[in-house]
């Protein structure tokens, strides 16, 4: 099948996703539908029921109520790292990213975005959460911020195609940081974007009390 795909110019996953599912069904029949589903990370194989977590989330109550979007984005990056690392440890990917905000008067909102394909990549989780935050007006100071990933898919064997270069770099960065933290501890390395140039820096110990895997 690889030679057949190469003959029609398909070398990367993005080449598959450039066309809708029915295009591949017309071109390759059932194999085309299978190819497109795998490129999206989808698998309709029967699921054996068990007690695995249905979502993974992280949240932080801030030391001071704030309207500082840059600070909130740094917290979202730290939380995306926690959640992404947890997903990778469980061999899970999620399709839905949810943003949670609680204001100083204890009112709260949640906003969700369903992605085009399941992910466990920190940068993709963070980007989705940032976009959700950017769409909110923040009428009152924020006391708590958090994000979660749900709508899980089990990690499937990758298609024998080259991964998109940017996505491949993000995945390699995650894997390298996971290995370093597993060996030397969670405080040993911090992404530059999670550090503040001002007086208030974002530091997180990846502690169990700040990481939540939900069963419901």
Check whether residue 106 and residue 16 sit in a common domain: no
Check whether residue 190 and residue 96 sit in a common domain: yes
Check whether residue 110 and residue 207 sit in a common domain: yes
Kindly report the pTM of this predicted structure: 0.67
Check whether residue 35 and residue 81 sit in a common domain: no
Cα dist. 131→32, 47, 84, 98 in Å? 33, 32, 17, 11
- Are the beta carbons of 138 and 67 closer than 8 angstroms? yes
Check whether residue 147 and residue 74 sit in a common domain: yes
Name the DSSP letter for residue 148.
E
Q: Report yes or no on 15 lying in a domain.
A: yes
Q: Report yes or no on 93 lying in a domain.
A: yes
Check whether residue 126 and residue 188 sit in a common domain: yes
Q: Report yes or no on 46 lying in a domain.
A: no
Q: Which domain holds residue 32?
A: 2-40
The per-residue pLDDT for 199 is 37
The per-residue pLDDT for 184 is 83
169: CATH: 3.30.1490.100
- The count of structural domains within the chain is 2
Q: Report yes or no on 49 lying in a domain.
A: no
Q: Report yes or no on 45 lying in a domain.
A: no
Q: Report yes or no on 47 lying in a domain.
A: no
Check whether residue 71 and residue 151 sit in a common domain: yes
Check whether residue 68 and residue 146 sit in a common domain: yes
The residues pairing with 97 across neighbouring beta strands, listed in sequence order, are 113, 149
Check whether residue 32 and residue 75 sit in a common domain: no
Check whether residue 70 and residue 30 sit in a common domain: no
Check whether residue 99 and residue 148 sit in a common domain: yes
Q: Report yes or no on 31 lying in a domain.
A: yes
The per-residue pLDDT for 200 is 46
The per-residue pLDDT for 27 is 77
Check whether residue 92 and residue 184 sit in a common domain: yes
Positions of the chain with pLDDT under 70: 1-9, 11, 41-52, 155-163, 187-188, 192-216
- The Cα–Cα gap between 197 and 175 comes to 26
The residues pairing with 99 across neighbouring beta strands, listed in sequence order, are 111, 147
Strand 211-214 versus strand 108-119 pairing type: unpaired
Q: Report yes or no on 179 lying in a domain.
A: yes
């Amino acid at each position: 099948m690889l030679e057949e795909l190469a003959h029609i110019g398909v070398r990367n996953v993005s080449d598959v996703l450039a066309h809708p599912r029915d295009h591949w069904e017309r071109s390759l029949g059932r194999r085309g539908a299978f190819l497109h589903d795998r490129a999206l990370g989808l698998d309709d194989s029967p699921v054996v029921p068990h007690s695995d977590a249905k979502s993974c989330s992280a949240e932080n109550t801030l030391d001071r109520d704030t309207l500082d979007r840059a600070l909130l984005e740094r917290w979202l990056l730290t939380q995306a790292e926690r959640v992404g690392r947890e997903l990778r440890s469980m061999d899970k990917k999620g399709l839905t990213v949810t943003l949670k905000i609680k204001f100083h008067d204890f009112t709260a909102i949640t906003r969700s975005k369903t992605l085009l394909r399941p992910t466990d990549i920190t940068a993709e989780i963070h980007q989705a959460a940032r976009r959700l935050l950017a769409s909110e007006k923040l009428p009152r100071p924020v006391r708590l911020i958090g994000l979660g990933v749900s709508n899980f898919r089990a990690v499937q064997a990758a298609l024998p195609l080259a991964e998109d270069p940017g996505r491949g770099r993000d995945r390699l960065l995650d894997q390298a940081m996971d290995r370093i933290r597993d060996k030397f501890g969670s405080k040993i390395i911090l992404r530059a974007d999670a550090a503040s140039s001002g007086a208030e820096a974002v530091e997180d110990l990846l502690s169990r009390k700040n990481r939540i895997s939900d069963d419901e």
